[in-house]
Amino acid sequence: MTTLADKNVLLGVTGGIAAYKTPELVRRLRDAGASVRVVMTPGAQAFISPLTLQAVSGHRVHADLLDAEAEAGMGHIELARWADELVIAPATAHAIARLAHGFADDLLATLVLATEARIWVAPAMNRVMWASRPVLDNCQRLQTLGMRLLGPASGSQACGEVGEGRMLEPDEIVAALGDHPRPFLGHRFVVTAGPTHEALDPVRFLGNRSSGRMGFAVAEALAAAGADVDLVAGPVNLTTPPGVTRCDVLTARDMHREVMARIEGATGFIGVAAVADYRPDSVAEHKIKKSEGELALRLVPNPDILADVARHSARPALVMGFAAETRDLANAARDKLARKQLDLIAANLVGEGLAFDCADNALEVFSATGHWSLPEQPKAPLARALVEIMVDCMASKGG
Ligand code: PMT
């Protein structure tokens, strides 16, 4: 039997006839061990009463964005944080269009933007609507945003027609949530995250604004995909994601040493860290005193961890770098991909309010032959979308 023990599932119900199946879906989710809370759109309430879903879930149903009573209890941000899984079932064509374009004018759409939970979308609509270009394009966009589609199924429809567009049965939805694929089970990945600090004297260093969030999100997404993950982290203030083994380092040379010690036998190396290219050529033994006039620093190059991994005799099957650029993103990324002999590179524009130390990010990912655009979104779903690209890349190598 599928187990969702200890999982918090937020069910978003939108206004389609298949809403009549949601009390059964709530019951099945609870039978599988999940705690369930329900959010309804105004349209959903035309098909099923909030009271019914309150009775089966055991919790008050949330419906309004501007609900003083709800905000005094579990407000929308708390609800977004509470959820491990957000399941939108049924998802109408209208709801899908709104999600694809980032609307935030009702509670459910706002939660989708505010949550880092995995988001599942179970479309339900007439077969001709399902086959229409706008709906298919919007569904594709949901997938690039890291959301997972559940179905739809094929069969007889409420409108009397027969074809694709039915919502999956509650049992099938519960099974999909419980059986999420672990494509990297049995594989080990080494991931770097955060900045490095290059000492000038006992109290000063050269560093950068990396918070480590992107690298930690990648480590967490890989662990969720079944991988054993060794995370070599620069100085950051983050908790270790579940299932990840962490090694803390300070300098680029420490990071290089710890990565190289772990690379043998690894399937993949993902270099997300913002490693200092240069370090001061010497570290003053005592605090450098202020003196009149200028102070010149002499810098020497640090080892390039990513390039060394890529040309290592025990090179992992998948070597992926990041590229932080302030301009000419695609050309600079393609150049690094070729120069450092990488399988994949994820490029982000950086600068004021971009990528470094931000909750959200956008990435352009390149391989020798492929290109994926991952639009701006929180780093957790972005990392999950990256892992899907890694899975495809490994599959195309026959790994
Ligand atoms: O940590 P966050 O606040 O979440 O921000 C995330 C991020 C912006 C740091 C991240 O998304 C990112 O872009 N990381 C790479 C930053 C960087 O150093 O880029 P680069 O273009 O200078 O380096 C290219 C690649 O070479 C990177 O994979 C880097 O890890 C690697 N490198 C660089 C220098 C060096 N000496 N050794 C390396 O391995």
127 within some domain: yes
Distance 195 CA to ligand 1 centre (A): 8
210 within some domain: yes
Task: State the Cα–Cα distance between residues 144 and 18, nearest whole angstrom.
Answer: 26
Query: pLDDT tens across 150-163, in order?
Result: 999 888 888 888 88
CA-nearest residue for atom 13, ligand 1, is 324
Mean pLDDT of the region 42-65: 95
pLDDT at 363 (0 to 100): 97
E strand or H helix that includes residue 241: none
pLDDT at 189 (0 to 100): 98
Longest CA pairwise span in the chain (Å)? 87
Assess whether 165 and 196 both reside in one domain: no
Residues with CB under 6 Å of ligand 1 are: 192, 194, 210-215, 252, 271-275, 277, 302, 304-306, 321-324, 336, 348, 350, 355-357
What b-and-e string marks burial along 176-200, b requiring 16 or more CB atoms within 10 Å of the CB?
bbbeeeeebeebbbbbbbbbbbbbb
For residue 361, give the ligand 1 atom closest to its CA: 11
Mean pLDDT of the region 325-335: 96
Assess whether 237 and 158 both reside in one domain: no
- For 233, the domain range is 188-396
Give yes or no: 159 in active site.
Answer: yes
Best substitution site from 206, 249, 275 to test ligand 1's pocket, by max atoms within 8 Å of Cβ?
275
Assess whether 171 and 226 both reside in one domain: no
Task: Give the active site residue among 139, 159, 247, 358.
Answer: 159
CA-nearest residue for atom 10, ligand 1, is 272
Task: State the Cα–Cα distance between residues 84 and 5, nearest whole angstrom.
Answer: 11
Domain of 223: which CATH number?
Answer: 3.40.50.10300
Best substitution site from 216, 306, 320 to test ligand 1's pocket, by max atoms within 8 Å of Cβ?
306
303 within some domain: yes
As for how many domains the chain has, the answer is 2
Query: pLDDT tens across 220-261, in order?
Result: 999 989 999 999 999 999 888 878 999 999 999 999 999 999
What's the pTM? 0.74
